[in-house]
């Protein structure tokens, strides 16, 4: 992992978050069926909108945190807040990996399990690497 700098990790994370936001927007406008997300457990459009709004909000918050950490967005936030947020994101992606493994939707399992594992590892790079 020597080649993986904090800057490159942040760029990859931002790309993944951007694609994730687009994906969830496509779910919300029903281009992608909502049975493909949330472990295939959503039962109605109302459930889908509730969960997708939460997902979009979290992804935008995560994007903001990574933009601040990477220095792309210059906002004064105590470093401990950003670092703590990154640790929370790391844990969330680990738990999300478990949720994806247990998903009832095979496509969700094979596509999003690797994505959340990669995000977890990239979060560790942002947290632990000095450069």
Per-residue pLDDT reduced to its tens digit, 66-115: 999 999 999 999 999 999 999 999 999 999 999 888 887 788 789 889 99
- Is 74 a member of any domain? yes
Reduced to 3 states (helix: H, G, I; strand: E, B; else coil), residue 78 is coil
For 4, residues 6+ apart whose C-beta sits below 8 A from its C-beta are 125, 129
69 with 61: CB under 8 angstroms?
no
Reduced to 3 states (helix: H, G, I; strand: E, B; else coil), residue 90 is helix
pLDDT at 122 over 70: yes
Residue among 2, 7, 17, 13 at smallest CA distance from 122: 13
Structural domain including 71 reads: 6-128
- Is 1 a member of any domain? no
Which pTM does this prediction carry?
0.88
User: What pLDDT score does 3 carry?
Assistant: 79
* Total domain count, the chain: 1
């Amino acid at each position: 992992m020597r080649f993986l700098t904090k800057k490159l990790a942040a760029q990859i994370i931002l790309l993944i978050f951007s694609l994730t936001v687009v994906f969830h927007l496509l779910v919300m406008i029903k281009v992608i069926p909502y049975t493909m997300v949330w472990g295939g457990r959503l039962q109605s459009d109302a459930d889908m909108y509730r969960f997708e709004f939460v997902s979009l909000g979290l992804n935008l918050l995560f994007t903001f945190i990574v933009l601040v950490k990477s220095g792309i967005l210059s906002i004064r936030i105590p470093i401990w807040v950003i670092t703590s947020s990154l640790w929370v994101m790391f844990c969330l992606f680990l738990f999300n990996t478990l949720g994806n493994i247990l998903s009832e939707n095979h496509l969700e399992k094979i596509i999003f399990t690797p994505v959340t594992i990669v995000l977890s590892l990239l979060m560790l790079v942002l947290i632990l690497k000095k450069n």
